[in-house]
Amino acid sequence: MSSGGAFGGNRGLRPVPPEKGIFPLDHMHLCDLDKKEYLNCLKTAGNKSEICREFSKKYLQCRMEKNLMAKQDLAELGFKESNAETPGGKITERIGDRDQ
**Integer Cα distance of 30 and 28 in angstroms:** 5
Q: Determine, yes or no, domain membership for 19.
A: no
Number of domains in the chain: 1
Query: What pLDDT digit, counting tens, does each position of 51-97 carry?
Result: 999 999 999 999 999 999 889 899 888 887 644 444 444 444 444 44
Q: Determine, yes or no, domain membership for 9.
A: no
Q: For residue 35, is pLDDT > 90?
A: yes
The mean per-residue pLDDT over the stretch 26-54 comes to 94
The mean per-residue pLDDT over the stretch 10-21 comes to 62
pTM score, whole prediction: 0.59
What is the pLDDT, as a whole number, of residue 22? Answer: 61
Longest dimension (CA), the chain: 67
Q: Determine, yes or no, domain membership for 33.
A: yes
Per the structure, the complete domain to which residue 43 belongs is given by: 26-69
Q: Are 58 and 37 in contact (CB under 8 A)?
A: yes
